[in-house]
Amino acid sequence: MKEIPVGATVAHAYRFAFFDFPKILGLIWLPAVLISVISIYPMRRLINIFETLSTEQSAAALHQAWILIPFLILGFILYCSQIASIVQLALQPARQQVLYHISLGKTVWRLIGAFLLVILVYLGAWLASMLVGILVSLLFSPFVTAANLKIALAITSLIAGVLVYGAFIAVTVRPVFLMAPVVIAEQKISIGRAWSLSRGNFWRLMLIFVAVFLPFWLIQRLLLVAFLPKNVMLAAPPGASQEVKAAVLANVMNWAAQMLGTMLHYWYITYPLGLVWMVIYLGTIFGAQTFAYRALTEDETSVPVATD
């Protein structure tokens, strides 16, 4: 069993994202531009959907939402193309810098298949955790009375939350964390391979995941707080009436529509900043995964990295 060097992997990930910024930018800017262009129409439709939801016309909003599906699929394909290029660069750091790049070959489609499989794994883990939660509730239901109902509901909610988040963490750390580099380097979709590689490294991978993901999550939360008006709550307080919940939802939808409208209006600022964010974010996250994979496989016979 090999151990992943936590500090070195995290340091490599951030060094890769910042010091190889020009190389990563050259690989992903063209797909990013295409994503930005094709997102203009769905963003406008999304603004209409948010405005419709703010008036509690949920049926009308759902009727408009179906048109977004083809754009989401196309954006997902281009997003996977970016990830494949970044992982290939992290696997082969000596690759020359390019001015532009886009790939839609077998490697990208294999990565798409792997991500779809991951979604199924997440769904299975969520269903399993919910099933266990229901079984726990059924086991304790004979002991629930009117006097201890609130305590029972609190305990049940806590157990369900622990199960759901525990399943999410377990799936993310073991089979999913190394999935992309396994797919790219070994040219196959194999949850079993990612699982076996990470054996004995759960807590190390957990620390790496937190170290590379938490800073970006915190920045996003701080930006959300900074741009959220004081009169807008993201969720209704516990025990709120239906009228209060409806008012909170209307305010959130109105604010979301205004934010999207502002982003579209100042596209010459938001889109370049978004590209810089994506370079650093994807470089760090997938750089960490790739360097962890390289640390675990450095003694194995290397498999040629696909470059299509």
Angle subtended at Cα 270 by Cα 266 and Cα 271, rounded to the nearest 5 degrees: 110
Q: Assess contact for 19 and 219: CB atoms under 8 A.
A: no
pLDDT over 80 (residue 91):
yes
Chain segment 275-302, per-residue pLDDT in tens: 999 999 999 999 999 999 998 888 765 5
pTM: 0.82
Q: Best-predicted range by mean pLDDT among 1-5, 105-109, 254-258?
A: 105-109
Chain segment 162-217, per-residue pLDDT in tens: 767 776 777 777 778 889 999 999 988 888 888 888 888 888 998 999 999 999 99
What is the rounded average pLDDT for all residues in the chain? Answer: 83
pLDDT confidence of residue 25: 95
Q: Which amino acid is at 57?
A: Q
Whole-number Å distance between alpha carbons of 40 and 55: 24
Whole-number Å distance between alpha carbons of 104 and 195: 27
pLDDT over 70 (residue 236):
no
Whole-number Å distance between alpha carbons of 115 and 121: 10
pLDDT over 60 (residue 62):
yes
